[in-house]
Structure 1
Amino acid sequence: MTENELSYKIIGAAIEVHRNLGVGLLENAYETALAYELKQQGIDVQQQISLPLKYKEVTIENAYKIDLIIENKVIVEVKAVLELHPVFYAQVLTYLKLTNIQLGLLINFNSELIKYGIHRIVNKLINE
């Protein structure tokens, strides 16, 4: 599947989770439910992946933790906040750059209508 096909399935799964759970829960509840929905479709989902960071001569273990990596092609960052701060977008973009993944989705489940809580972030600096 391409990144766009995966994002379509991820968004559909997020809508299903939001329809069933509503707003007001912790991020972990939405993340786990979203991972479940995607796995039910036969999609490979890695959850809470801690990755190291190489800084000059030092390796920093567990420097960052990605909520979901879908099929090694899409990063999903799950939020349940009143408002998405610009730093959340920057966080996803940084994760994309560090993993060399092209597409990220920032999903805020604390939105009355989930369509307003879903944001696509594209890594335009792919190192191939």
Structure 2
Amino acid sequence: MHRENKRFAEGELSSIVIGRAIEVHRALGPGLLESAYQECLAYELKQAGLYVEREKALPIVYKDVKLEHGYRLDLLIEKQLVVELKTVEFLTDVHTAQILTYLRLGEFPLGLLINFHVKMLKEGIRRFAHTPLRIS
């Protein structure tokens, strides 16, 4: 079902993910564990023909040390969009720092931070873009 090597326009992929996340939230509502939303959203995205990696390990490299399991991304979509899911009262600066770190370490261009513990899901979505530093 996955469309091999398809490249998405910057907003297209995040729009698909947001649409499917809204669908999951409408069906389940707030109040479940993060793992339930992750499972259902991954299912929806695969049904949409997207390549989805769950709990994707993101190693940390520091000098000569490589920590294989430094972090785990909740979802990595089409090898380019990081999706971090939360079920918290409020998103904080720590959540923002977490996804920005994932984007930087993995050199991923886009990220979505989605908090399912809200009445209307659009209130719980934050979009992030990562532009690598270019030193001349």
Return the TM-score normalized by structure 2.
0.90
Shift of 1:94: 0.6
For structure 2, which runs of at least 5 residues remain unmatched after alignment?
1-7
Shift of 1:68: 0.4
Calculate percent identity across the aligned residue pairs: 50
Provide the aligned length of Structure 1 versus Structure 2. Answer: 127
Which of 17, 32, 47 aligns to 1:25? It is 32
- Alpha-carbon RMSD: 1.1
Q: Aligned runs of 1:23-62 on 2, under 5 Å?
A: 23-62=30-69
Contact 2:87 2:116 in 1 (8 A): yes
Tell me the amino acid that sits aligned with residue 119 of structure 1.
R
Q: Does 1:66 align with 2:73?
A: yes
Shift of 1:51: 2.2
Larger radius of gyration: 2
Helix, strand or coil: the match of 2:117?
coil
For structure 1, which runs of at least 5 residues remain unmatched after alignment?
none
Contact 1:3 1:74 in 2 (8 A): no
Shift of 1:56: 1.3
Query: After TM superposition, where is structure 1 displaced by more than 6 Å over at least 4 residues in a row?
Result: none
Helix, strand or coil: the match of 2:24?
helix
Q: What are the superposed Cα offsets for residues 103-126 of structure 1, whole Å, 9 maximum, x if unpaired?
A: 100000001110000000111226
